[in-house]
Amino acid sequence: MRRFTMAAAATLLFAVAAIGAIASSAQAAQLEVRLVPVAPVQAGQPTELTATVTDAGVPAPGISVTFYTTETFARVTGDAEIGRAVTDASGVATVTYEPRETGPRNIRADATAKDGTVTKASASITVEGSLEQQYVQTAGIRIPGVNSWLIMGLLAVVWGTLLFIAVTVIRIAAAGWADGPVDAAPAAGPRMDSARQQGGGR
């Protein structure tokens, strides 16, 4: 009798555990995430990424959704978080994404259920546009015609002067060749006007 009771209890425990496991997996499987397809976006332009979360076909509000993209930095590839949002009454979570690189991008949305279960969905978007600098500084004082142009103007003057000197060196060489071969030059060393010593020689 006692043996029978123990066997019945074990069977009952097993049955309860099995039913529990089946029930919990069924509950996790009911949460479904779907990334709303996005048309090709322009690099540097903000776009909205939207995920809809349903629980057994019914919109699931209050679910935290984290959006990721795949990035490579210093030869290490991994997930870079774009942002997080919580689903509204319609089960919709939205974040703003401003891609900085062109080409196909993988986007992933992870919905975390109340019990900690994570359900994932992935999609690919295409980022179009040029590879030019995307970041535009808005802070600081801006004086029209100055700022960067002042630096470029100064550089143009300096490098223009250096170019003038390079051209003059070529003219010096031409003046030497015009007066005869170098080997015919006097053995004595050259001598410059002492005016140069007096401060400029102009």
Partner 1 sequence: MEAIGPWRQRLEDTTYAPIEHTSKVYWAWLAFLLAVISWGGYAYYVQLRDGLIVTGMRDRISWGFYISNFVFFIGISHAGTLISAILRVSKAGWRTPVTRMAEFITVVALCCGAIFPIIDLGRPDRLQNVILYGRWQSPIIWDVVAITTYLTASITYLGLPMIPDLAIFRDRTTGWRKWLYSVLAVGWIGNTRQRSMLATIIATMMILIIPIAVSVHTVVSWIFAMNLRVGWNSTIFGAFFVAGAIFSGVATLVIVMAILRKIYHLEEYILEKHFIYLGYLLAAMALIMIYGNLSEYITTGYKLEAGEEFHFRELFLGQFAGYYWYYFIGGLVIPPLLILMPWTRNIWGVVVAAFLIDVAMWIERYFIVVATLRVPLMPYEPRNYGPTWVEWSIIAASFALFGLLITIFVKVFPLLAIWEITEQREAAMESPAALPAPATAKHGLAIEHGGQS
Torsion of CA 141, 142, 143, 147, to 10 degrees: 100
Candidate ranges 19-27, 42-50, 119-127, 183-191; the one touching partner 1 (CB under 8 A): 183-191
74 scored as a contact of partner 1 (CB under 8 A):
yes
192 scored as a contact of partner 1 (CB under 8 A):
yes
> Closest CB to partner 1 among 32 and 71?
71
Edge-to-edge strand ranges of the sheet holding 41-42: 41-42, 118-128, 103-112, 64-73, 76-86
Helices (H), the chain: 2-30, 147-178
Candidate ranges 20-28, 37-45, 119-127, 156-164; the one touching partner 1 (CB under 8 A): 156-164
SS3 assignment for 77-105: EEEEEEEEEECCCCCEEEEEECCCCCEEE
101 scored as a contact of partner 1 (CB under 8 A):
no
145 scored as a contact of partner 1 (CB under 8 A):
no
77 scored as a contact of partner 1 (CB under 8 A):
no
> Closest CB to partner 1 among 144 and 186?
186
